[in-house]
């Protein structure tokens, strides 16, 4: 009699735990495409401000439905990219490194962000070097991942390390379509000092690809189609991952890893090269012992 066939037990998905977050966001009241500072922007492209406002309000509603706090930064006329609030600062352990924008068109945003954070009781460090906030900085466990190549300078990486006291990992971006780190990599969770990330490897230099693979051997790789749909411009609370609904395969892959993808439509803002994460600055509270 032949031996019984052993069948592998079904794989169990990891249990993901959401953590309540605090976000700063700015409505696209003055949204427009009147200059080009990334490959997605084409001046004269018609934009529907009412639709942009409706989509943005839908994103706020999703965050609030998940139990997160959203504070609203007042928009200012003449600054059409203020909706991309993630670029205005990086807040870690209750302190902020303010932004210093690479392009003149956005530089006035920095003081408005700094004043807003100060009013919330957050200490703001005025930067000495060019950085574009969470566009190029991402907290990943005990590390701070830092993009460079198109906007943020490597000198700003050292500045962030000194301020936050966290080791900074420099990652070089090489594809201008992915001009900020948050367009091609997202942190999904950061439990016990070790993070899980999703990314699009071709956006990075060969050396930086090797670094990410070494630090995050279980990283989820997105397809080019989902990356171009800004699927990696996502926001995660450790369980729920809010991302553009057009990134369908990425959503399925996240679900297979035990996350709960929440699709939203921010297609109007893609005309300026931004989506979910670009609109969302996280205000991280001081660590508790």
- Which residue out of 26, 157, 184, 278 is catalytically annotated? 278
- Which residue out of 68, 180, 240, 279 is catalytically annotated? 180
Task: Identify the segments of the chain with pLDDT beneath 70.
Answer: 1-13, 192-193, 288-289
180 is catalytic: yes
Distance CA 246, CA 243 (A): 8
- pLDDT score of 15: 84
- pLDDT score of 10: 40
C-alpha dihedral sign at 187, 189, 191, 195: negative
- pLDDT score of 116: 98
Over residues 38-47, the pLDDT tens digits come to 999 999 999 9
Q: Where are the beta strands (DSSP E) in 151-239?
A: 168-172, 185-191, 194-199, 220-221, 235-236
129 is catalytic: no
Exposure string over 76-97, b if 16+ CB within 10 A, otherwise e: eeebbbbbbbbbbbbbbeebbb
- pLDDT score of 273: 98
- pLDDT score of 193: 66
- pLDDT score of 190: 82
Radius of gyration for the alpha carbons in the chain, expressed in angstroms and rounded: 19
Q: Does domain 22-282 have CATH number 3.75.10.10?
A: yes
- pLDDT score of 120: 97
Over residues 109-168, the pLDDT tens digits come to 999 999 999 999 999 999 999 999 999 999 999 999 999 999 999 999 999 999 999 999
């Amino acid at each position: 009699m032949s031996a019984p066939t052993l069948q592998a037990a079904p794989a169990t998905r990891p249990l993901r735990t959401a953590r309540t977050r605090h976000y700063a966001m700015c409505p696209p009241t003055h949204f427009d495409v009147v200059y080009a500072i990334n490959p997605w922007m084409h001046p004269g492209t018609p934009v529907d401000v009412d639709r942009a406002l409706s989509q943005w309000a839908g994103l706020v509603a999703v965050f609030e439905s998940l139990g997160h706090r959203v504070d609203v930064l007042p928009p200012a006329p003449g600054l059409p990219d203020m909706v991309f609030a993630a670029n205005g600062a990086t807040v870690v352990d209750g302190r902020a490194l303010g932004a210093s924008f690479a392009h003149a068109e956005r530089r006035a945003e920095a003081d408005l962000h700094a004043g807003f954070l100060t009013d919330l009781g957050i200490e703001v460090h005025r930067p000495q070097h060019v950085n574009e906030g969470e566009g190029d900085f991402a907290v990943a466990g005990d590390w701070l991942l830092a993009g460079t190549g198109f906007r943020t300078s490597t000198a700003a990486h050292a500045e962030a390390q000194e301020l936050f006291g966290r080791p900074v990992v420099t990652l070089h971006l090489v594809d201008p379509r992915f001009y900020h780190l948050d367009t091609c990599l997202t942190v999904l969770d950061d439990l016990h000092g070790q993070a899980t990330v999703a990314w699009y490897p071709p956006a990075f230099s060969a050396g930086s690809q090797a670094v990410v693979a070494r630090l995050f051997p279980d990283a989820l790789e997105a397809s080019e189609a989902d990356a171009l749909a800004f699927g990696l411009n996502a926001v995660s609370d450790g369980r729920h991952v809010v991302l553009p609904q057009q990134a369908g395969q990425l959503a399925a892959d996240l679900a297979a890893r035990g996350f709960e993808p929440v699709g939203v439509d921010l297609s109007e803002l893609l005309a300026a090269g931004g989506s979910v994460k670009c609109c969302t600055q996280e205000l991280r509270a001081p660590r508790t012992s």
